[in-house]
């Protein structure tokens, strides 16, 4: 017989498993984020009081939604603001058995409504990210602030403004219609990928990866694929898993960067790679979207035995597809690097110089670093030095700075 | 809920959309019951700014803000929510030439 767990441990476990679902449903029932959050906390407080006496309910989720809703309406009534709610609608809902609010399908729809509302294109991009992490993932404002190296009051302000806009401009709590879906899904995917990248290649600061954010993004990606298995959502999840599989090999214990070609491939996470590859196949089966193609490129890297044993011709071909779907100078740069591996550094260098001459990536550190690397391979040491130094002035990340400095000093040794 | 859709255009594009097309747009919205009011405006050079400071009326030429786009007209609509309002704004012909600012209308608190 299982030992009887203390009630607060059960409540904690239910909080971790169910609080985001309960919140998503309460927002729909109460029509307001702040009211719903308060109701959520009241519901869990009530659980701590009542469950020890009455036992844990058969369906804790349903119980919490009912309790939260009751507390909120009671609170509004006491503030004599009940007339602000749609009374007829509220009365109709009270008549329905509470289980009907919390059946599996409705609850999963509510989660999707929450995702699409937090990522509504009428909200500022940084507000979409903050709101999603707070409401969908349940991170505390201080945790989000820490992850983004922003002051907590700034983050709090961003979230308050976003919620005010949802309320005042009446952003509806809805899953977009079929016609709107591709565009709206793009915004959601962009938010998730931004969170992932902030964790994976922190744009500033002293650590290479901030694992929590990447893990959170992968969790969000899984949630989205569960709720809405669109090919690009599957492609994005694959892409994140495949990038993340290299985490343990990307840096030394001291936090110094290790290039792909120098990484110990036995440290790559084979389970993540296998899952990523399966997902890529599934995504590509419904036509190549931009995330699925990038995931396919990552899969080729992940399955290659070495840099030399990588199928660079296939990778260049995938970049060609990607450029057609999604023209961007950064993708052109990546293609140039892959082409240098296929056809030699001179061919890649010519392409990078052409991109830089257009002025497109003038301030992009990785363009200068890639140029420097190819010059070095061609023995053009002075050019390599100039480009490494340019990259060094553009980076804001400590491990990258150390990496570039090491590269520059190894050039001096090459010169003798 | 009411939304004010403010039409912004660069001076050179004030007449880029034919009046007939704008009339048709207004007629369509009126038939759907969503239109409360819509008017085009004369260019910003005809504008006058009125202020009261320390009880004294000052009247000056034009608005002060130097922006590339100017207010060219407005549609006051009644929409279900912001998504609905965005759908309407997207159909306002000058959306192709300039931009439409969608602002929710606030209720005065007595």
DSSP per residue over A292-356, as a string? Answer: HHHHHHHHHHHH-SSSTTS-HHHHHHHHHHHHHHS--HHHHHHHHHHHHHHH-HHHHHHHHHHHH
Q: Which domain holds residue B74?
A: 2-104
Neighbours of A104 (CB within 10 A): 9
Q: Report H helices in B2-78.
A: 19-31
Give the domain CATH number at B50: 3.30.70.1060
* Higher-pLDDT residue of A99, B81: B81
**Alpha carbon of B93: minimum distance to chain A alpha carbons (Å):** 20
Residue-wise pLDDT tens digits, A252-306: 887 788 888 899 999 999 999 999 999 999 999 988 899 999 999 999 999 999 9
Domain boundaries, chain A: 7-102, 108-214, 229-310
Residue-wise pLDDT tens digits, A128-145: 999 999 999 988 898 888
What percent of chain B stands above pLDDT 70? Answer: 97
SS3 A195: helix
* DSSP bridge partners of B101: B6
B2, B82, B85, B107: best to mutate for the A interface, most A CBs within 10 A: B82
Inside any domain, residue B109: no
| Token pair listed for A400 | 């990258």
Q: How far apart are CA A289 and CA B87, in angstroms?
A: 26
Confidence of residue B90 (pLDDT cuts 50, 70, 90): very high
- Asked if the Cβ–Cβ distance from A172 to B83 is below 8 Å, we say yes
Chain A positions in Cβ-Cβ contact with residue B82 (cut-off 8 Å): 120, 122, 169-172
Tell whether A31 is within 8 A of chain B (Cβ): no
Q: Is the pLDDT of residue B65 over 90?
A: no
Nearest CA in chain A to B4: A169
B83, B84, B85: best to mutate for the A interface, most A CBs within 10 A: B83
Cα B59 to the chain's mean position, in Å? Answer: 23
User: Backbone phi, then psi, for B66, in 5-degree steps?
Assistant: -95, 95
Inside any domain, residue B110: no
Q: Which regions in chain A score pLDDT beneath 70? A: 1-4, 80-101, 201-211, 414-416
Q: Report H helices in A124-210.
A: 125-131, 141-147, 152-168, 181-200
* Higher-pLDDT residue of A167, B110: A167
Inside any domain, residue B31: yes
Return the number of CB contacts < 8 Å for A and B. Answer: 23
Number of domains chain B is built from: 1
- Asked if the Cβ–Cβ distance from B81 to A172 is below 8 Å, we say yes
Q: Among partner residues A122, A176, A180, which is closest to B82 by beta-carbon distance?
A: A122
Global ipTM: 0.87
**Residue A8: per-residue pLDDT:** 87
- Asked if the Cβ–Cβ distance from B82 to A174 is below 8 Å, we say no
**Alpha carbon of B76: minimum distance to chain A alpha carbons (Å):** 14
- Asked if the Cβ–Cβ distance from A169 to B104 is below 8 Å, we say yes
Q: pTM for the whole thing? A: 0.85
**Residue A245: per-residue pLDDT:** 95
| Token pair listed for A374 | 């190819």
Q: How far apart are CA A321 and CA A295, in angstroms?
A: 13
């Amino acid at each position: 017989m299982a030992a009887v767990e203390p009630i607060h441990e059960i409540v904690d476990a239910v909080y971790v498993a169910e609080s985001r679902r309960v919140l998503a449903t309460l927002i729909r029932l109460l029509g307001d984020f702040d009211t719903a959050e308060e109701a959520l906390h009241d519901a869990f407080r009530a659980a701590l009081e009542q469950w020890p006496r009455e036992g844990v309910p058969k369906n804790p989720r349903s119980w919490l939604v009912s309790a939260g809703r009751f507390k909120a309406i009671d609170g509004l009534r006491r503030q004599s603001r009940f007339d602000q709610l749609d009374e007829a609608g509220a009365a109709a809902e009270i008549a329905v058995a509470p289980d009907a609010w919390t059946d599996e399908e409705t609850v999963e729809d509510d989660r999707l409504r929450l995702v699409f509302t937090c990522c509504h294109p009428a909200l500022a991009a940084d507000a979409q990210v903050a709101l999603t992490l707070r409401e969908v993932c349940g991170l505390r404002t201080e945790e989000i602030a820490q992850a983004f190296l922003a002051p907590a009051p700034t983050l709090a302000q961003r979230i308050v403004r976003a919620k005010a806009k949802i309320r005042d401009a009446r952003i509806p709590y809805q899953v977009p219609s079929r016609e709107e879906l591709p565009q709206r899904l793009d915004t959601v995917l962009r938010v998730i990928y931004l969170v992932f990248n902030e964790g994976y290649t922190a744009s500033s600061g002293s650590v290479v990866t901030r694992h929590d954010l990447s893990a959170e993004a992968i969790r969000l990606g899984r949630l989205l694929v569960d709720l809405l298995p669109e090919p690009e959502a599957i492609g994005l999840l694959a892409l994140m898993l495949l990038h993340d599989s290299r985490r343990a090999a990307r840096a030394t214990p001291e936090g110094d960067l290790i290039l792909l070609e120098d990484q110990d491939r036995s440290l790559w996470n084979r389970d993540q790679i296998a899952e990523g590859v399966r997902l890529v196949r599934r995504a590509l089966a419904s036509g190549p979207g931009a995330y699925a193609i990038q995931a396919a490129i990552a899969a080729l890297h992940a399955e290659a035995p070495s840099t030399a044993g990588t199928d660079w011709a296939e990778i260049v071909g995938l970049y060609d597809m990607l450029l057609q779907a999604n023209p961007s100078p950064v993708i052109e740069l990546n293609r140039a690097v892959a082409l240098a591996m296929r056809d030699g550094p001179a061919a890649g260098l010519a392409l990078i110089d052409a991109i830089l001459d257009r002025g497109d990536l003038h301030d992009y550190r990785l363009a200068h670093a890639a140029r420097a690397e190819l010059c070095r391979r061609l023995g053009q040491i002075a050019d390599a030095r100039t480009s490494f130094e340019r990259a060094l002035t553009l980076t804001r990340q400590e491990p990258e700075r150390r990496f570039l400095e090491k590269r520059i000093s190894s050039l001096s040794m090459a010169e003798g | 809920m009411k939304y004010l859709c403010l039409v912004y255009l660069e001076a050179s594009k004030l007449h880029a959309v034919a009046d007939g097309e704008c009339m048709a747009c207004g007629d369509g919205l009126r038939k759907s019951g969503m239109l409360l009011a819509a008017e085009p405006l004369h260019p910003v050079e005809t504008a006058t700014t009125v202020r009261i400071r320390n009880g004294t009326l000052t009247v000056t030429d034009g608005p002060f803000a130097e922006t590339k786009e100017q207010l060219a007209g407005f549609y006051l609509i009644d929409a279900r929510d912001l998504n609905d309002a965005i759908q309407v704004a997207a159909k306002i012909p000058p959306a192709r030439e300039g931009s439409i600012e969608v602002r929710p209308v606030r209720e005065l608190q007595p």
